[in-house]
Amino acid sequence: MTGRALFSDWLKIRGKGIWFLVFLAPIGLTAMQALNFGLRLDYLKEQYAADLWGGLLENVVMFVPLALMLGATVLSSMIAGVEHEQGSWKQLLAMPISRTAVYTGKFLLACVLLIISCLLLTAGIVVLGLVLGFDAGSIPWGQAITLGLMPLAGALPVLSLEFWLTTVSKNQALPVTLGIVLAIVGLFSLSLSPYFPLAWSLMAWSGPNPLMFAGMGIGAGLLILLLGMVHFSRKDVA
């Protein structure tokens, strides 16, 4: 049932500009580092001489949490907005499909789109490194593939919260504003504490125990997802 809901939502996003957003973030981050390394290539090659690929990944990953939180906010709003704009919530929920399946399907769609965006970022950075002349035989594929996926696991609470708020609220201004604030605060969260939830996204990559922070993000994200699902199941959505 959830699979049917996911497939239906996948069809609904055609022509909504969502795919543009999915491609925008990885292209933007890759272009930013192309400019960074293009202007300072000799200096950066000297600075990261011991590990050129590692240096490139470190320069990218500092912007990934911000991109993920903003992406989670906008994607959640756009996915929920498909139903809000058309006023089709009541029609959708009157169909022989549970509210839990509807909610889970839309959430999984947001997760899949973010995962695709993360993998596109990996592809873009690998291509950039090769264009810059880095050794193709020393590509750290494990790190490259998890470049966006580990921070995404740490950012899952933000995605779950934003998805909840955008789904149950017809006025998207408040949840979108909150998402932007959370993304900005996340930039400075490490100065508060590495255990502050908004810091988990970055710590899931660069922390002393990345898997722990990724697990914390997944656990908190699933808890918020469950709370949102219960609220959505009981709420009269217009």
Backbone angles phi, psi at 40, to 5 degrees: -125, 35
Instruction: Confirm if 150 and 219 have CB atoms less than 8 A apart.
Output: no
Of the candidates 185, 182, 176, the one whose C-alpha atom is nearest the C-alpha of residue 79 is: 176
Give the torsion sign (CA, 195, 174, 108, 222): positive
Domain count, the chain: 1
Q: Determine the pLDDT at residue 132.
A: 92
Instruction: Confirm if 238 and 91 have CB atoms less than 8 A apart.
Output: no
Domain around 198: 2-234
pLDDT per residue as tens digits for the range 169-225: 888 899 999 999 999 999 898 888 889 999 999 999 988 899 999 999 999 999 999
Region 39-56 average pLDDT: 90
Give the torsion sign (CA, 216, 32, 50, 132): positive
pTM of the predicted model, to two decimals?
0.92
pLDDT at residue 87 greater than cutoff 70: no
Per-residue pLDDT band at 236 (split at 50, 70, 90)? confident
pLDDT at residue 4 greater than cutoff 60: yes
The C-alpha atoms of residue 213 and residue 105 are separated, in whole angstroms, by: 26
Map residue 31 onto helix, strand or coil.
helix
pLDDT per residue as tens digits for the range 49-63: 889 999 999 999 999
